[in-house]
């Protein structure tokens, strides 16, 4: 299965794209808020992938660590550790989703 995107504007089938990141603003504490996006190579339409701040980037790192712990527990066949880390992962994932939604509402279009 190939990952292909059809541009909403020019209908080009995009199978390869470069993800770019730029600072869109700084939050109240002076920490960078970043937007990751790609553009249609034909018409230039911009597609935002992620808007992130320091908190979201830290949550993503926590989620990755949690996934590694889940895999480690799975390899050791430690059911209790797997369940514990899965619950932690689910809580972090929910927090990421909620925080992402807030960031998108606050900074989209800047």
Summarised one tens digit per residue, pLDDT across range 31-75 is: 999 999 999 999 999 999 999 999 999 999 999 999 999 999 999
Q: Cα torsion for 72, 74, 75, 77, to the nearest 10°? A: 120
CA pair distance 100, 107, nearest whole angstrom = 10
Contact predicate 35/107, CB 8 Å: yes
Among the residue ranges 3-7, 21-25, 35-39, 50-54, the one predicted with the least confidence is 3-7
The structure's pTM equals 0.81
């Amino acid at each position: 299965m190939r990952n292909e995107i059809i541009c909403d504007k020019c209908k080009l089938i995009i199978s390869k794209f470069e993800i770019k990141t730029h600072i869109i603003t700084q939050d109240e504490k002076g920490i960078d808020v970043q937007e990751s996006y790609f553009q249609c190579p034909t018409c230039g339409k911009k597609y935002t992938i992620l808007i992130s701040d320091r908190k979201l980037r830290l949550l993503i790192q926590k989620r990755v660590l949690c996934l590694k712990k889940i895999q480690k527990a799975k390899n050791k066949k430690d059911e209790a550790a797997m369940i514990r880390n899965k619950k932690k992962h689910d809580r972090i994932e929910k927090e990421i989703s909620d925080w992402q939604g807030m960031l998108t509402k606050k900074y989209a279009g800047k």
